[in-house]
């Protein structure tokens, strides 16, 4: 009967390779947040293009908005702006909570943020229904719907990210003070949406 023996040198060699692979994996930098930042920079370029087009129309056309365009109301968009800005501060409290391993605090503050984001979208839909003009009324109204609608799409994506974080946080220890990339990514995206809205609100409603 043939003897089956294990070559100690091969075993040691395999073990050495496994240790090297493990060490290499541990030493590999986490570039996920860098990827999120690059994505947001790309999104910023799109918004900058839209804002630039809006400003060009405003500066070159004889009347902006064109004569006969119903005037935009400021009350509801102003309340929406305050709500969105406040939601960023609320969301940050959620990130601060998970850094202290406070999972219930994360769920509380992210839950409130989700509610505030949903209220923003409800307010925007309500405004659309009471504007007095449509997408094709004139160039200004087309720009209005493209800018606010594109931003509303981003708010919707941000809301889905928040709800995803909330769903994952129901699993014990999924997020902790040492492991909370999803929380940070969602918060950074939400801050981006907030800053874009402040610029949009200033250009479209105030100037």
What is d(CA 205, CA 81) in angstroms, rounded to the nearest whole number? 11
CA 112/CA 94 separation, integer angstroms: 10
pLDDT average per 10 residues of sequence, the chain (207 residues): 50 51 60 92 97 96 93 96 97 94 95 98 96 94 97 97 95 89 95 97 95
The one-character DSSP state at 70 is: P
* Residue 22: per-residue pLDDT: 52
Q: Name the nearest CA neighbour of 170 among 103, 91, 85, 111.
A: 103
CATH code for residues 31-206: 1.20.120.80
Pinpoint the alpha helices (H) of the chain.
8-27, 32-60, 75-99, 103-128, 139-169, 181-201
CB 152 within 8 Å of CB 193: no
Q: What is the dihedral of CA 126, 127, 132, 133, to 10 degrees?
A: -110
Asked whether 85 and 199 are in contact (CB, 8 A), the reply is no
Residue among 77, 26, 39 at smallest CA distance from 158: 39
d(CA 17, CA 122): 57
Cα–Cα distance, 74 to 123 (Å, whole number): 12
Backbone angles phi, psi at 5, to 5 degrees: -120, 155
Dist CA 187 CA 87 (whole Å): 10
pLDDT, residue 1, reads 46
In terms of Cβ atoms closer than 10 Å to its own Cβ (0-12, 13-18, 19+), residue 28 is exposed
Quote the pLDDT of residue 92.
95
- Spatial separation of the C-alpha atoms in residues 10 and 140, rounded to whole Å: 74
Q: Note the pLDDT of residue 31.
A: 86
pLDDT at 6: 52
CA 94 – CA 109 distance, rounded (Å): 5
pLDDT of 10: 47
């Amino acid at each position: 009967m043939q003897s089956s023996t294990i070559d100690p040198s091969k075993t040691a060699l395999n073990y050495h390779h496994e240790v090297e692979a493990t060490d290499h994996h541990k030493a590999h930098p986490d570039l996920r947040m860098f990827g999120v930042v690059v994505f947001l920079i790309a999104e910023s370029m799109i918004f900058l293009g839209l804002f630039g087009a809006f400003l060009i129309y405003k500066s070159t056309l004889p009347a902006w908005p064109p004569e006969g365009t119903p005037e935009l109301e400021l009350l509801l968009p102003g309340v929406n702006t305050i709500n969105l800005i406040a939601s960023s501060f609320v969301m940050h409290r959620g990130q601060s909570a998970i850094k202290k391993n406070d999972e219930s605090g994360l769920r509380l503050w992210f839950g409130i943020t989700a509610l505030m984001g949903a209220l923003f979208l409800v307010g925007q839909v309500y405004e659309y229904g009471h504007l007095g003009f449509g997408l094709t009324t004139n160039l200004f109204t087309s720009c209005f719907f493209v800018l606010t609608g594109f931003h509303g799409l981003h708010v919707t994506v941000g809301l889905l990210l928040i709800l995803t974080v909330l769903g994952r946080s129901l699993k014990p220890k999924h997020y902790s003070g040492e492991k909370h990339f999803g929380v940070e990514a969602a918060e950074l995206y939400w801050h981006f949406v907030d800053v874009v809205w402040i610029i949009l609100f200033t250009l479209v409603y105030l100037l």
